[in-house]
Amino acid sequence: MAIEKTQQRVDINARKIINGADADVVQLYPMKHTFAWDAYNAGNANHWLPTEINMQGDVEQWKTPGVLTDDEIRAFKTVLGFFTTADSIAANNIVMAAYRHVTSPECRMYLLRQAYEEAIHTHAYQYMVESLGLDSGEIYNMYREVDAIYNKASFILTFNEGIFDPSFKTGTFESDQKFLENIIVFSLIMEGIFFYSSFAVIFGFQRQNKMKSSAEQIQYIMRDESQHLNFGINLINTIKEEQPELWTPEFQQHVVDMVKEGAKLEYTFAAEVFPKGIFGMNAESFKQYIEHISDRRLARVGLPEQFGVSNPFPWMSEAVDLNKEKNFFETRVIEYKTGGTLDW
């Protein structure tokens, strides 16, 4: 990128999420999109590493016959198989799609932090697989071998087509809508639906005092992902404000249809995880939970709810209260300075 020598200072009003390159993407101040700076600082304040969590209790439970049922083992491994793929897909999209086209310096700064957090999450799943002595080939190839995971991954990756092309550029109505579609899919569906239903499975174990160290890592991952989701929603809503012509009635219906399709894929995944049900959770109750969070995601971007159902897992609201977390080194509860929160 060439630098132009000029006496003209950056005009904050010229800054945009996309198509704002003339406002100088390398100069952080003056800052316009302060939500991104807040997210960046929250991520730094809440930094963690999986190796700070002792897995010994989980190892003993996993290896002691009779502690976990066959159905529980299946559910845990299937969810872990999804997670190992999902964060890698998310990280690739940040680097190869979002960062390339976002022209807000503060948003780019948070995207770098977000990409690092996705790497930490990938590390956490590897740490669980290694600690528990799982067959890494089985877990890491589930996205190829298990239809319910393969179908979700394929659906998400469909929306990378074109954007990963080096020749793709924003700046036209069609390309800008394509970029907005990508952010919507990864924020609302991937992080907002696919991740959250799998989080609920792991917290089901935690509520039964099973696999608590793995669940603790997932809780920190969920804290990060709630921040990613909020950031993505802020991106979507800000692009809507800066380029309202993109938010056509047809595109709004397209977004609703995509979310409904994502929910259907997640129903199938729930059936794969819960062929018989565990901990009082089954495929039917998960279908309701998926519909509930789908409605929440639509509402956050100003679209009508489609299902009108209540939350069948009210304890998930407590798990998502990320202002309170267990300290890594103590048993007391502390208040995080800037925890991510999700409007339920």
Give the C-alpha separation, 71 to 276, whole Å.
Answer: 7
Structural tokens at position 9: 């200072």
Q: Torsions phi, psi of 13, nearest 5?
A: -70, -15
Is 103 within a domain? Answer: yes
Which letter does DSSP use for residue 211 in this model? S
**Which residue in the block uniquely carries the two structure tokens 């380029």?**
243
Is 130 within a domain? Answer: yes
**Are the C-beta atoms of 308 and 295 separated by less than 8 Å?**
yes
CB atoms within 10 A of CB 289: 23
Q: How many domains does the chain have?
A: 1
What is the full per-residue pLDDT of the chain (344 aa) written as tens digits?
566 777 777 777 888 999 987 767 778 888 899 999 999 999 999 999 999 999 999 999 999 999 999 999 999 999 999 999 898 899 899 988 899 999 999 999 999 999 999 999 999 999 999 999 999 999 999 999 999 999 999 999 999 888 898 899 999 999 999 999 999 999 999 999 999 888 888 999 998 999 999 999 999 999 999 999 999 999 999 999 999 999 999 999 999 999 999 999 999 988 888 778 788 878 888 899 999 999 999 999 999 999 999 998 887 766 654 444 444 333 323 344 444 444 43
Is 56 within a domain? Answer: no
Please give the distance of CA 112 from its chain centroid, rounded to a whole number. Answer: 15
Is 21 within a domain? Answer: no
Structural tokens at position 265: 């894929």
**Are the C-beta atoms of 318 and 342 separated by less than 8 Å?**
no
Which is nearest to 221 in space by CA: 297, 140, 322, 112? 322
Which is nearest to 186 in space by CA: 215, 207, 157, 209? 157
Residues 6+ apart with CB under 8 A from 189: 156, 258, 259, 262, 297
- Per-residue confidence (pLDDT) for residue 313, from 0 to 100: 85
Is 5 within a domain? Answer: no
91, amino acid identity: A
- Helices 212-242 and 56-63 sit at what angle, rounded to 10 degrees? 110
Is 3 within a domain? Answer: no
Give the C-alpha separation, 119 to 117, whole Å.
Answer: 5
Is 284 within a domain? Answer: yes
Residues annotated as catalytic are 127
Is 277 within a domain? Answer: yes
153, amino acid identity: A
Domain that holds residue 155: 68-335
The CATH number linked to 275 is 1.10.620.20
